[in-house]
């Protein structure tokens, strides 16, 4: 098999930081006729002091506060301490220097040029709140954030679809948090890969006490997302090590859904693995198949189907610019994956979106490209 394509410079070569990029005109590139192009993973930064302004008076002193570092960007502090380590300050500053990270008009203008009709939008740095030890404060963070991102969505109807947060740690309020999402018109939500309860206690989604979480998710009928970004390593090599691990994280979540029996108990749940590309999937399924056969006498619970059944019926993934994944698409399945622009991250294809979409068009039949560039996301998220 030829490997020369993988050895060529990528479309990122010479692109420079996100803040220096400009939207890429279409030129002579094409997408399937009549296709609504959907970026299944974009990002938005909070540039307002939304938590302090909307928390009840008795909790305001515990609310995260907006913080503008000297380097730029928008971060949050609690008790005067930044929620993200120093290594991330420059990364956030670079990202937030892109006007469309916080300004809707600039964002829509850039996406118009780059041919993106609709976007699924995750909050930048929202994962910093996942392990907040005071669970009442965490619940208010989620409640306020959902109201906020739904308000942004309302300003760009039919284009910007915000991703919400739910009370995954509290079986008494999880249904109410899902009801809030649906009432606000949000199409999906994200939960952490490494969830924590009070005082950083690890949560195991597969344990019996969390069955109500998955029951509530199935009843709500909204797809659940897992997103990269929960691992941070500081010191020498920290940025590269963190990103190498963050961008290949999903075996744990896939295994919990399959081998934990979650998808057997709740067979209509749909889950999406976001921003980890798709080239990991054939290897993960190969390993899962081996475990299913070689450890059959050890598995508890004994799942009802081979692992690939769950991939083909319940699971999805997004990719940005994944040449290796495109070469493996027959193993992956074109109906399970969704392209994303990832605006305005450093690893995004902002500034070369048409080139990235053209690589998809060149790699697969047009019917598959149509699915990957828009139709799959439109179906999964039931977009307007």
Domains annotated on the chain, with CATH: 28-381 (3.20.20.140)
Instruction: Determine the pLDDT at residue 14.
Output: 76
Cα gap 61→140, rounded to integer Å: 13
What lies within 8 Å, CB to CB, of 96 at 6+ separation is 45, 47, 72, 73, 74, 102, 124
3-class SS letters over 302-330: CCCCCHHHHHHHHEEEEECCCHHHHHCHH
Cα gap 176→121, rounded to integer Å: 22
CA neighbor of 372 nearest in space, from 300, 167, 364: 364
Q: How many residues are present in the chain?
A: 384
Q: Are 228 and 273 contacting, i.e. CB atoms less than 8 angstroms apart?
A: no
Give buried/exposed letters for 120-149 (b at 16+ CB in 10 A, else e). bbbbbbbbbbbbbeebebbbbbbbbbbebb
User: CA quadruple 50, 53, 57, 62: dihedral positive or negative?
Assistant: positive
Tokens of 250: 């999903």
Instruction: Determine the pLDDT at residue 131.
Output: 82
Sheet containing 75-78: which strands, arranged edge to edge? 65-67, 75-78, 81-82
Q: Are 335 and 36 contacting, i.e. CB atoms less than 8 angstroms apart?
A: no
DSSP structure class, residue 202: B
Q: Are 323 and 5 contacting, i.e. CB atoms less than 8 angstroms apart?
A: yes
Instruction: Determine the pLDDT at residue 125.
Output: 86
Cα gap 26→303, rounded to integer Å: 47
Q: Are 219 and 183 contacting, i.e. CB atoms less than 8 angstroms apart?
A: no
Cα gap 43→196, rounded to integer Å: 24
- Using a 10 angstrom Cβ sphere, with 0-12 exposed, 13-18 middle and 19 or more buried, the burial of residue 331 is middle
> Rounded to an integer, what is the distance from CA 231 to the centroid of its chain?
14
Strands 38-44 and 118-123: parallel
Tokens of 111: 């996406």
> Rounded to an integer, what is the distance from CA 261 to the centroid of its chain?
23
Q: Are 230 and 253 contacting, i.e. CB atoms less than 8 angstroms apart?
A: no
Place of tokens 């929620």: 83
Q: Are 171 and 197 contacting, i.e. CB atoms less than 8 angstroms apart?
A: no
Tokens of 225: 């997302």
Q: At what angle do helices 135-155 and 174-184 cross, to 10 degrees?
A: 10
Q: What is the pTM of this model?
A: 0.94
Q: Are 73 and 47 contacting, i.e. CB atoms less than 8 angstroms apart?
A: no
pLDDT digit string (tens) for the chain, length 384 residues: 344 555 566 787 778 888 899 999 999 998 999 999 999 999 999 999 999 999 999 999 999 999 999 889 999 998 888 887 777 788 889 999 999 999 999 999 999 999 999 999 999 988 888 888 899 999 999 999 999 999 999 999 999 999 999 999 999 999 999 999 999 999 999 999 999 998 889 999 999 999 999 999 999 999 999 998 656 656 666 666 666 666 667 999 999 999 999 999 999 999 999 999 999 999 999 999 999 999 999 999 999 999 999 999 999 999 999 999 999 999 999 999 999 999 999 899 999 999 999 999 999 999 999 999 999 999 999 997
């Amino acid at each position: 098999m030829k490997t020369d394509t993988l050895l060529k410079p990528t479309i990122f070569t010479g692109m420079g930081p996100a803040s220096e990029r400009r939207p890429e005109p279409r030129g002579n590139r094409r997408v399937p006729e009549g296709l609504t192009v959907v970026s299944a993973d974009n990002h938005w930064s909070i540039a307002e002091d939304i938590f302090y302004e909307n928390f009840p008076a008795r909790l305001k002193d515990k609310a995260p506060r907006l913080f503008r570092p000297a380097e730029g960007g928008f971060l949050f502090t609690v008790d005067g301490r930044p929620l993200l380590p120093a290594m991330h300050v420059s990364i956030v500053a670079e990202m937030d220097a892109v006007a469309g990270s916080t300004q809707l008009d600039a964002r829509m203008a850039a996406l118009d040029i780059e041919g993106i009709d609709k976007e699924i939008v995750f909050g930048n740095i929202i994962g910093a709140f996942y392990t907040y030890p005071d669970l009442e404060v965490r619940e208010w963070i989620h409640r306020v954030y959902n109201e906020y991102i739904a308000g942004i969505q309302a300003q760009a109807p039919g284009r910007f679809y915000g991703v919400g947060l739910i009370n995954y740690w509290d079986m008494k309020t999880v249904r109410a948090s899902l009801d809030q999402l649906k009432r606000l018109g949000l199409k999906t939500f994200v939960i952490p890969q490494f969830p924590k309860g009070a005082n950083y206690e690890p949560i195991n989604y597969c344990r019996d006490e969390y069955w109500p979480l998955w029951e509530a998710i199935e009843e709500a009928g909204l797809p659940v997302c897992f997103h990269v970004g929960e691992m941070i390593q500081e010191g020498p090599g920290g940025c590269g090590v963190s990103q190498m691990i963050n961008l290949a994280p999903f075996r744990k979540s896939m295994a919990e859904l399959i081998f934990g029996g979650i998808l057997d108990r709740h067979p209509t749940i749909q889950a999406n693995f976001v921003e980890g590309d798709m080239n990991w999937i054939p290897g993960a399924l190969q390993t899962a198949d081996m475990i299913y056969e070689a450890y059959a006498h050890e598995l508890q619970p004994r799942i009802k189907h081979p692992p690939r059944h769950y991939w083909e019926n319940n699971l999805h993934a997004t990719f940005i610019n994944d040449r290796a994944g495109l070469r493996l698409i027959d193993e992956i399945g074109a109906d399970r994956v969704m392209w994303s622009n990832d605006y305005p991250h450093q690893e995004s294809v902002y500034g070369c979106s048409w080139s990235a979409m053209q690589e998809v068009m060149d790699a697969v039949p047009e019917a598959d490209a149509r699915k990957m560039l828009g139709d799959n996301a439109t179906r999964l998220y039931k977009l307007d």
